[in-house]
Structure 1
Amino acid sequence: MTKPYTGIWPVAPTPFHADGSIDTEGMKRVLDCMIDQGVDGICILANFSEQFLISDEERAILTRVCLEHVAGRVPVIVTISHFATPIVVERAQFAKGLGADIVMMMPPYHGALLKGTAEQTFEQFRQVGEVGIPIMLQDAPLSGVDLPVPLLVKMAQEIEMLKLFKIECPQAAAKLRSLIAEGGDFIEGPFDGEEAITLLADLDAGCTGTMTSAMIPDLIGPIVRDFLAGNRQAAIEGYARVLPAVNHENRQCGFRSAKAAMVEGGIIKSEFCRHPIAPLHPDTRSLLIELLRPLDPLVLRWGK
């Protein structure tokens, strides 16, 4: 079976004005830049969108602004994670009503100690599945919830709308390989994340797509496409070229990297992150731009 979900589906950063308010015009420019970067889809309100620093009212505004502005040019994934199942269901209904293509959610968790059991996780995803919109499950260390492969396979088999799996736990390639082997055609979209830091190993394990940041999807997308087309050596060479920048993003910058690059490229005016997130150290930021410039990514010239 040909996997229907492939390519690069990055997370859109959420731009703020220097005073900390949401920059909706900047948000539109971010989306336009991402589409020009050749993305296959866009994810909003994810962890790399600073969703844990955004109010419910702001979430609603951003969802509407993003979906109206993208206007079907590429598919949009709306992140809906929350500990409370009724809130997750309500967010799914809201996203579907505005025309979202997919919703993404982590298992229920709150802080370090409130973690959903296997049964609670299954039930939350089952209820969202009844909304009737495709679901991407995000298996990320942030939740602290253990999601063994047999549970994921059971969920894929029994929850019709659960179609995509973003695996970004430690040893992601091994888990992807097992998930694909045991889940077969029920795993319609095996993806990885974590800024593509493990992309080559994950492609080798069978993933068909990746959810990176919005920093250099124009350079990472061709790696995925080359690999899936059987051009293995081209994929390896492309990956080796971007890996220093990806490593610096993953290990030193996190979600602040895409906004720093977008300010540098004139896409947005401010790389402000809300407290308690600290700004990038000037030296860390400087090295990021130094690593990006030889790659000539679109992000550094789109707004100039």
Structure 2
Amino acid sequence: MAKYKGIWPVAPVAFHDDGRVDDEGMRRILDCMIDQGVDGICILANYSEQFLISDAEREHLTRLSLDHVAGRVPVIVTISHFATPIVVERAKLARALGADMVMMMAPYHGATLRATPEQIFEQFASAGDAGIPIMVQDAPMAGTDLTVPLLVKMAREIEMVKLFKMESAGAAAKLRALIAEGGDAIEGPFDGEEGITLLADLDAGATGTMTSAMIPDQIKPILTAWEAGDRAGATAGYARILPAVNHENRQCGFRAAKAVMMEGGVIRSDFSRHPIAPLSDPTRAMLLDLVRPLDPVALNWGK
């Protein structure tokens, strides 16, 4: 049995309409997620718009989130950065503030700066010295091919590398190979990408998923059914949520969760900082049309 399982969604960051971080909105987002029965929460990830916040805001949000969650569910803090000393500093801070885990991508910067496999291993090993469990995020954004042999080596030789969030193309095949080659060293095989390939990834051996915060209460029953051996129930649940998840993944991205939360009264604004454009009215309307029949908690929580 895998040590780590369930649904660990990414918390979006709440902004006021003028672009300032909305502390109260952030607390309401976290409470809404916990009320949906999530198994954990990830903060400061790509779906938290981490690339749109300052270092000072990043530390502020880490402290605010961990203080407000207060151990009600485990919290993962994303610490990705090209510079290894900054990654290590972020890992140490996350541990000092009481985070349960950190998540990081392979080091990259822009379109051309990439680390070698040796440098990737060294960065994860350095982060592991902070003494906090690490989730490896295999994401297309990093533009780096994290091969199965490299991931297995990291799992076996870096004590703190325990979980793997697979978001690269063909995630199911890679998960299956990772689990087969890594064995007990792979303590938490997860998928991502809002769960758009969830059924295939569960079939490949994934024990958890890191979705957005849009409808985790509607996705969790799929994992529960699958774990219970109810493939038909899981398949039916997946078919039910897939149109909304597909629209989120292909049309909206990280803007979807905040649009639903604003509609549901969780937050007052779904603002994203420039150069991110707001959702168009037709895209937003279709998103809400697809989500309403699911009757998710986020769409009603603040009303």
**TM-score normalised by length of structure 1:** 0.99
Match of residue 220 from structure 1: 219
3-state SS, counterpart of residue 235 of structure 1: helix
State the distance in 1 between where 2:39 and 2:225 align: 15
State the distance in 2 between where 1:290 and 1:203 align: 28
After superposition, residues 260-271 of structure 1 pair within 5 angstroms as 260-271=259-270
Residue 250 in structure 1 maps to residue 226 in structure 2: no
After superposition, residues 71-86 of structure 1 pair within 5 angstroms as 71-86=70-85
Residue 183 in structure 1 maps to residue 182 in structure 2: yes
Name the Cα RMSD after superposition: 0.4
Q: Deviations over 1:9-37 (max 9, x none)?
A: 00000010000000010000000000011
Residue 158 in structure 1 maps to residue 157 in structure 2: yes
Match of residue 167 from structure 2: 168
Corresponding pairs, count: 303
State the distance in 1 between where 2:297 and 2:163 align: 28
Structure 2: tracts of 5 or more residues without a match: none
Match of residue 302 from structure 2: 303
State the distance in 2 between where 1:212 and 1:76 align: 14
**Cα displacement (A) at 1:123:** 0.1
Match of residue 25 from structure 1: 24
3-state SS, counterpart of residue 177 of structure 2: helix
> Aligned letter for 2:2?
K
> Aligned letter for 2:178?
L
Match of residue 274 from structure 1: 273
Match of residue 88 from structure 1: 87
State the distance in 2 between where 1:217 and 1:200 align: 15
**Cα displacement (A) at 1:4:** 1.1
State the distance in 1 between where 2:30 and 2:68 align: 8
Q: Identical aligned pairs, as a percentage?
A: 73
**TM-score normalised by length of structure 2:** 1.00
Q: Deviations over 1:24-56 (max 9, x none)?
A: 100000000000111000000000000000100
**Cα displacement (A) at 1:229:** 1.4
Match of residue 208 from structure 1: 207
State the distance in 2 between where 1:94 and 1:294 align: 42
**Cα displacement (A) at 1:129:** 0.6
After superposition, residues 15-164 of structure 1 pair within 5 angstroms as 15-164=14-163
State the distance in 2 between where 1:31 and 1:22 align: 14
> Aligned letter for 2:133?
P
State the distance in 2 between where 1:271 and 1:175 align: 35
State the distance in 1 between where 2:5 and 2:225 align: 12
Q: Deviations over 1:233-272 (max 9, x none)?
A: 1100000000000000000000000000000000000000
3-state SS, counterpart of residue 103 of structure 1: strand
State the distance in 1 between where 2:267 and 2:293 align: 22
3-state SS, counterpart of residue 302 of structure 1: coil
**Cα displacement (A) at 1:231:** 1.1
**Cα displacement (A) at 1:174:** 0.3
State the distance in 2 between where 1:221 and 1:294 align: 17
3-state SS, counterpart of residue 22 of structure 1: coil
State the distance in 2 between where 1:280 and 1:117 align: 37
3-state SS, counterpart of residue 136 of structure 2: strand
State the distance in 2 between where 1:222 and 1:159 align: 33
State the distance in 1 between where 2:281 and 2:120 align: 41
State the distance in 2 between where 1:119 and 1:201 align: 31
